[in-house]
Structure formats: C-alpha cells, structure tokens
Amino acid sequence: MIEGLQEMLKRDFDITFKDVDLLDAAFTHASYVNETPERKKKLKYYERIEFLGDAVMQLCVSEYIYEHYPEMPEGKMSRLRAAMVRADSFSKFAIECHFNEYIRLGKGEEKGNARQRPSLLCDIFESFIGALYLDQGKDEVVRFISKVIFPKLELGWFDHMMDNKTELQEVLQQNGECKIKYNEVNVTGPDNERVYTMNVVVNNEVMGEGTGRTKKAAEQMAAYQALKKLRK
C-alpha cells in the first residue's frame, strides 16, 4: 500500500518523501498497529503527526489570507480561516487527493467503513501535512496546498462555510438594532439522516432559507442566502 501511495504522490503532486517511514506512519491507524502485535514496537500511527499538521495548516492558511486579502478585516479573516481548516473541508480534500484509499486500518475499522468516516479523513489529511512538513519543510506544504486548497478559495468554495450568521448580524446592525430570528421550516429523512430546512427572518421579513444535515448548518446556509440578497 505504501508503494502505491508513493507513486500517487509523485504522479499527482510531484512529491517524493525522503523518510518513507514517516509517510507510512501518517497513514496508519492505531487499530492496524494493535492488530499487528509482532510489529507493534516498530509501527507508529498518525495521531502525533496529525497534531503538528493541524498547527502547520493554521499557520499556512493564515499567512495566505493575510498576504492576499490586505483589506479584509480581522473578524472576517478569522471566519474565512475557520471555514478553510474545518473538519469537513479537510475530509473532502482527503477524498479528492485519494488519501482514503491508502489508510492502513484494522479489520474491525475496515468493516465499520472507517475509510469513509469524515473525522478520520480529516485526521489523515492533517497527518499528511504534518509528515510533509517534517520531511520537507513549510515551503513544500505551501506548494501542496496551493494546488489543493487555495484555488478553491479564489472560486468562492468556502463562502457558504463561513460564519454567515455572525456576518449577517454585523451587516444588519450597521444601520441600528434589528430583530433576527431563525425558524425551522421542515425536517425530512430518517432519524440518522435528517435534513433540516431553516429560514432567517429579519424584522418580520423572510430574508433567506437553507437546508443542512443539522439545524446549525441549515441556519448558516439561510444566513448565506440572506447575505447574497442584501449584496444585490
């Protein structure tokens, strides 16, 4: 599996690891180590590297936003960074990069479909970043995320993920106090796959409506639609 991962990284991203053991650890889940007792002392898994990768991503994304958006206020910079480094963003990047295909899992985790679990995919993406940083430094991390993440920023990919509720409140309250209320419009789907529809009402006028897998996500989408309406 590690050979296939190396080939993919070279082919798709022109990345060749010097320390292959580091790359191996970044894609190894604890369940795999626990089920391989004869190699337990030699094998390492991703959690410590993921801790570092999270910090590296925060720094690289912060620097990019600061340099490329000189007029953006601090509050909006923070919301944009939060949208870019959130778990569901990283899990999508991991799938786009085919990282899910190369995770080493224990049999139980494999049967439990952990390879598609968003939280694990997020962890693996961060651990890869941490491993790349340790192996080749920050410049190489920036080069990688300049291919994978930053182009999406320019296309507005993260706009709907930002804290739109806070931004909507700030925009509306520039002209004085106003009453903002979020209401549940509809709920569909079985218990484990609920889809919520929420709207946002400003001074008794419906300004936007959105759907999501949670009420909070639907509220964010409703606020996003309201902001689009206001900008027109």
Give the residue from 83, 75, 73 showing the smallest Cα distance to 221: 83
Higher pLDDT, 96 or 71: 96
**Domain check: are 176 and 101 in the same one?**
no
Residues 113 and 198 placed together within one structural domain of the fold:
no
Helix, strand or coil for residue 28? strand
Active site residue 3: no
- Predicted local distance difference test score (pLDDT) of residue 145: 96
126 labelled as ligand-binding? yes
158 pLDDT band, cuts 50/70/90, is confident
- In this structure, the answer to whether residues 187 and 152 fall within a common structural domain is no
**67 among the known binding-site residues?**
no
- Report which of residues 162 and 129 the model is more confident about: 129
Which tens digits make up the pLDDT trace of 73-132? 887 788 888 888 888 889 999 999 999 999 988 888 888 888 888 889 999 999 999 999
pLDDT tens for residues 175-232?
A: 777 889 999 999 998 887 788 999 999 988 999 998 887 888 788 889 888 988 887 6
Residue 21 is labelled as binding a ligand: no
Among residues 108, 134, 161, which one ends one of the domains?
161
pLDDT for residue 41: 52
Q: Tell me the CATH number at 32.
A: 1.10.1520.10
Structure confidence at residue 161 (pLDDT): 67
Indicate the number of domains in the chain: 2
C-alpha of 154 from chain center: 16
Q: Is 126 a catalytic residue?
A: yes
Overall pTM > 0.75: no
Given 54, 135, 163, 219, the catalytic residue: 54
Q: Which DSSP symbol is given to 115?
A: G
Range of the domain at 147: 2-161
74 and 118, same domain (yes or no)? yes
Other Cβ atoms within 10 Å of 82 Cβ, number: 16
Based on the fold, state whether residues 41 and 66 are members of the same structural domain.
yes
Shared-domain flag, residues 54 and 39: yes
**Alpha-carbon distance 136 to 124, whole Å?**
18
Question: Which of 109, 126, 135, 219 is the catalytic position?
Answer: 126
Give tens-digit pLDDT for 37-65. 655 556 677 889 999 999 999 999 999 99
Check: CB of residue 121 under 8 Å from CB of residue 99. yes
